[in-house]
Structure 1
Amino acid sequence: MLKWPERAKPAVQRLFSELQDIDVYVEDTNDEPFYRSLIKFATNGELTVARVFALGGRRSVIETAKIHDYKKRRALFIIDGDLYWVKGEPTPNVAGLHCHDAYCVENLLLCEQALSLVLSEELPATEADAQLQLAFSAWISGVQESLLELFAAFATVHTFDPTVPTVSNKVAMLCSKAKRGKYPRLDPTKVEKLKSECLAAAEKVADPTDVLKTYKQLLTRIKALPSPIHAISGKDFLLPLIDFRLQEFGCRIKRATLRVRLAKCGDKSRLNALATALRRAATS
């Protein structure tokens, strides 16, 4: 994809403003094609978005939304929930800002219907057969409990000491090593060890009683969510794990390609909040 120099960004934005109904700003660079696919699918192609603009991080998106002149250009600024969402902190009250109701946008991609379709096309097989082989609900049950505890610990240490690495600990280090004929799988023992290390790090700067109380409150909160799995990073944990799962069936797709394909199919209701925000921003 063509990459424009930083100084050219204002000119690029003016160029594309005439070609689209609404300007959309996101966090991650090199994610524009993915978001265009997601927006088109979520809104049934009702909105024309020729270019999505990446601002390079959550704070940049929020700060740009604050100063944007919505009278001149209709726009929507999109951020992930991150650990702030896991902790139940409110989204910053900024006009034109939309926060995914999940840790990140990748959480919204992990739809059984979409995954079954992708697997059926790769095997090939009927969608029904692919769905049976995937056993998505059973797979979720197998990884959810330990990862919810881990992310409650991540949120806890983030509360007391945000400098401690959390999600940057990639899920691969928490998996068993790949062997001939076997792909990496989540190792609950390794997950438990990292959880304990995070809570211990929090206890270095806070009273252990307060740390334990916070951890229990956060774990209770995320378990009570309509979709508890949304409290686990889809990008850094769930998507890699489901990728390993798909590889077990001989389904080998580059992860970036998998993201785009999942953004184009499946249960559209999981994107209702995003679609509503886009339509509202485009007509306000």
Structure 2
Amino acid sequence: MLPERRSSSKFAKSAFFEDYNEIDIYIEDTAEGYTKLFKHLFKRVFQNEYNIENVFPIGSRSNVIKKCEEQLLIKVERPSLFIVDGDLYQLKGEPKPIPKGTFVLPRYCIENILIDGNAIVDFIDEENIDKDKDELKKDI
């Protein structure tokens, strides 16, 4: 197993980008490709408000929320946003209030927001030579 940086060092990485980012965005998703995905999404969301060159994956949902709480305690004035997945908390509710500055995705994860059902049906229809589109849609 390869060594991995602790969450505090992942969090501190944003200091190196202060000249490029006008807002620090921290996410829980650490899988390959998520940094790029979130960077492009938030560049569009904050297009005329903030310059964003990087987002910072810092690990688990609890890490992201903890870091947000820490920032609030020391009253950091730099704009920052902490993003966590909706996960199963949408069904059972949050165990405690989410701190100001943390955004909970309205779905289980970012893919659930980005995926277009019609696009999936179109793709499967193109790949399937036996069934028509309506049958495939019904099967899905």
TM-score, normalised to structure 1, is: 0.37
The correspondence for 2:69, drawn from 61, 66, 77, is 66
CA contact (8 A) 2:10 2:58 kept: no
Give the counterpart of 1:246 among 123, 127, 133.
123
2:101 to 96, 99, 102: 96
Between structures 1 and 2, the one with greater helix share: 1
Structure with more contact order per residue of length (Cα contacts < 8 Å, sep ≥ 6):
1
Report the number of matched residues.
118
Report if the CA contact (8 A) 1:86-1:103 is conserved.
no
Q: Is the 8 A contact 1:22 1:49 kept in 2?
A: yes
Structure 2 residue identity aligned to 1:50: E
Confirm whether residue 22 of structure 1 aligns to residue 39 of structure 2: no
Q: Per the alignment, do residues 81 and 105 of structure 1 end up closer, same or farther by CA in structure 2, a change over 3 Å counting?
A: same
Distance 1:36 1:81 in 2: 19
- RMSD over aligned CA atoms reads 2.8
**Which amino acid in the other structure matches residue 85 of structure 2?**
D
Identity, % of aligned positions: 34
TM-score (norm 2): 0.69
**101-110 vs 26-35, which moves further:** 101-110
Extract unaligned runs of 5+ from structure 2.
128-140
1:116-167 per-position Cα deviation (integer Å, ceiling 9, x unaligned): xxxxxxxxxxxxxxxxxxxx3xx9xxxxxxxxxxxxxxxxxxxxxxxxxxxx
- 1:96 and 1:15 mapped to 2: Cα distance? 21
Equivalent pair of 2:83/2:104 in contact (CA under 8 Å): yes
Tell me what 1:83 maps to: 88
Q: Which runs of 5+ in 1 are unaligned?
A: 113-135, 140-241, 251-284
Answer with 1 or 2: which has the greater Rg.
1
Aligned pairs for 1:104-143 (under 5 A) are 104-111=109-116, 136=118
